[in-house]
Amino acid sequence: MDLTKKLSIFVFLLCVLISLRNQKAATDSRSVAEDPSTRRDLGEDDSHSIAGAQARLKYDYYSDSCPSAESIIRSTVRELHEMKNVGPALLRLAFHDCFVMGCDASILLDSAGDVKSEKETPPNRSIKAFDHIDAIKYILEQECPGVVSCADIVVLSAREGVLLAGGQFYPVLTGRLDSKTAFPDDAAGSLPSPHLNLGEALRSFAAKGFDARETVALLGAHSTGKVHCSFFYNRLYNFSGTNGPDPSINAEFVLVLRSQCSNSSSQPSPSPSPLSSEHNSSFEDRAMKMDYEGAGNGFGEVYYRSLLEGKGLLFVDQQLTAGDDTRPWVEAYAADAPRFRRDFGLAMFKLSHLHVPSAAEGEVRLNCRKVN
């Protein structure tokens, strides 16, 4: 086990242990996230810093420069959530940002001058959380001008989205810088499609350092949000030219999906990543909710049980039951929700520090949509 992975597990487990000590209601993950004593205790130990190129990252990085930063992000996300379920969009945004060149807020940049935006690439045309990040950044700039990076806002907001969806609190190290450029070619080429077969999906995640177990855990993000019919329409009628449905779909479920999607447009749409199942709203399209038991309930367990029943909406999801390296984890997470939530938190922690821009590569943007 390499040093980074050991540190990841150490930080995660220590965070959980301190949270349990300080919280009477430890089973409520949201109350854990809201406990300031948890953050203070962990923030005192600088040994949580990531080594090497990632040494800038620390737990509670803003404790001196902007002590209210994380509470502002948390409260603002929850205020937005009261108006609209923003959790899935924030989680999707973080994945699309971090999976390309690391969590550097490059996805937030608009096209200007030499910068060509990642937003214009097909995988990112379904992203809808940019305004939410702008709102949070505006408040933080009033409180602590030029201090909190857009990249940190993205990863911290995603964690709040997970909590609101019923997931578990996981530690997030902060201190990231924002990229001075965007990477549209990388976004177009590296973000995995929901139509990938199992081998393609595993190779896509392996290229970023994720093994089969972590891939299965990360795809559990599909426990929340919705999938528009255009993303699985090809599985319902003429799958791979067979004049029939995808045989991996439960036969009764096919009828349910056909009924739900009977009036939807079948025209093609951009292919988002597996964590980006929401369709570009350029045309009318019906959708199926992923959180079948309602937002904030059954995060993970319902998704994995559905896969075992042949009720995965996306092809890449259902394929997880077909592999010797992936099906055991689908079965494990379907039977043990706490285990999934722990592994999901570890995978998200790992995703959040795939690459950290150096001082030469990054800055703290004053406006998340453009370089300073």
Please answer whether residues 372 and 363 qualify as being in contact, where contact means their C-beta atoms are separated by less than 8 angstroms: yes
222 known member of a binding site: yes
284 known member of a binding site: no
Q: Residue 223 to residues 49, 172, 210, 307: CA-CA distances in angstroms?
A: 31, 21, 19, 11
Please answer whether residues 108 and 133 qualify as being in contact, where contact means their C-beta atoms are separated by less than 8 angstroms: yes
Nearest CA among 241, 225, 290 for reference residue 95: 225
143 known member of a binding site: no
Q: Which residues contact 236 (CB under 8 A, 6 or more apart)?
A: 245, 246, 249, 254, 257, 258, 261
CA distance 337 to 302: 9
CA distance 53 to 359: 10
Nearest CA among 11, 97, 92 for reference residue 58: 11
Angle at 203 between CA 195 and CA 187, to 5 degrees: 65
Residues involved in catalysis: 96
291 known member of a binding site: yes
Which residue's structure tokens are 């019906």? 286
178 known member of a binding site: no
81 known member of a binding site: no
97 known member of a binding site: yes
Please answer whether residues 362 and 182 qualify as being in contact, where contact means their C-beta atoms are separated by less than 8 angstroms: no
SS (H, E, C) 339-356: HHHHHHHHHHHHHCCCCC
State phi, psi for 226 to the nearest 5 degrees. Answer: -145, 160
What is the three-class DSSP state of 7? Answer: helix
- The neighbour count for residue 134, using CB atoms within 10 Å, is 15
118 known member of a binding site: yes
152 known member of a binding site: no
Residues annotated in a binding site:
97, 100, 102, 104, 106, 118, 192, 222, 291
Residues annotated in a binding site for Ca(2+):
97, 100, 102, 104, 106, 118, 291
Residues annotated in a binding site for heme b:
222
Residues annotated in a binding site for substrate:
192
